[in-house]
Structure 1
Amino acid sequence: MIKYHIDKNGNRIAYKKVKGTRASVIFYGGFASDMNGTKANALYDFCQKSNIELTLFDYLGHGSSSGNFIDYTISDWHENCLEVMENLTYGKQIIIGSSMGGWLMLMTALSMPQRVSALIGIAAAPDFTEDLIFKKLSDTQKNDLSSLGIIDFPSIEEIKPQEKLSNCSYKITRDLIEDGRKNLLLDKGNINISCPVRLLHGLNDKDVPYHYSITLAEKITSNDVEIHLIKSAQHNMSDDYSLNIIFKTLRTCLKSN
């Protein structure tokens, strides 16, 4: 059942909980996704059956939470993560971050290291606003973004017919890009995270290349970092085979906690 938390600014953050005693897990979804996605629902069922505490939530401008998507940035969604951690969870958390959620889980671990026991990245996409959006814009799109403050990315005409089932057009704002630059991680010499980190990535990921996870593993200072590459998996990693690997990884993290 969906519940709502009112943050310090009066915004409504939608969330769902699974009660359990084995461990506490929080799931960070991807860009423009919500807690009713395939991975979130599968994780909800798994934790329910396994007696694992779980928190799912929607960022502002996503799903059932308040606000318009285009009004928020990475910093805002990071604040949502901290708000949920502080007010809807207790003790140390295993954070599972999918795509953009992988960026936000790293930021959370840097902001609240005392509350994080392990990280599991699913096609983690740190710095995606710069590397996977802005750098792919044409000069015309960059000019439009600068003058209009918002563009469609990718535009419908840029999507190849065979890719329309797996891609969609997003509204990208100048504020999102500029704020993303304030939160870049992969341009740093190292990322000072000391907890166990597991990075899962599909070799068939067309949206976030798997070398992102390799670069991330190199920069994280923890020695307990492992990468699991899945040859058949695409970006969403919502197929049964990938989901089972996610569950297996979570079980491993539970044993070490």
Structure 2
Amino acid sequence: MEYQDILYTKVDGVATITINRPQRYNAFRAQTCEEMIHAFKDADFDRSIGVVVLTGAGDRAFCTGGDQSTHEGGYGGRGTIGLPIEEVQSVIRDIAKPVIARVNGYAIGGGNVLVTLCDLAIASETAQFGQVGPKVGSVDPGFGTALLARVVGEKKAREIWYLCRRYTAQEALAMGLVNAVVPPDKLDEEVRRWCDEILEKSPTAIALAKKSFNVDTEMIRGMGALAMQALRLYYDTPESAEGVRAFQEKRKPDFRKYVK
């Protein structure tokens, strides 16, 4: 596959997938998702690779979720909501190699979900985290909610989704969303250090450990698939459309007028 939206490199046992849409704060569209799926599967099949790093281009954003400029068109492409985000989430969990989120900036919305899904996360001190779904007429009714509750605790997960606040890297560390926080100029060095430590370990033991961890939350996959069908219907409502319009018009949405 010829990549347009991502950069994909392999160096000394580490595959790095970089969402390369800095002009859109590394928000993903259908094309981005298809390329990420392909790259993750390639890294999984390549026996020379022991760790996968997921990051975003530039120093402003890791990923800010789905590109809202294409939301009204269903993001384009295939999948329950047009966007094959369920498959992106599944491939991160399913590959036999640990996936490390290198969080170099904003990890908002779907980007926050990607951090949640990755096995480990290392953040720059300048990184910010949070959800925006209920502000723009959207939600991630699967791993983005239920798995987040397992990672940070249910009360905190509900706060993150209901209030849509922003959280600093240190706050993310305190709640268990990331494993380490370092200065921006030390981020690559720290990520490489963690990768090297993993590469010293038995790949089969690591793969078995990852599968074992996933068993406890595997039911979320089926629940999420069901909920995504409902989300597709929600996207066709005036209430959801109001969120997108308000975002594009840079104003506060008025959701209450659609509640009967």
Per the normalisation by structure 2, the TM-score is: 0.37
Structure with the higher fraction of residues in strand conformation: 1
Q: Comparing both structures, which one devotes a greater share of its residues to helix?
A: 2
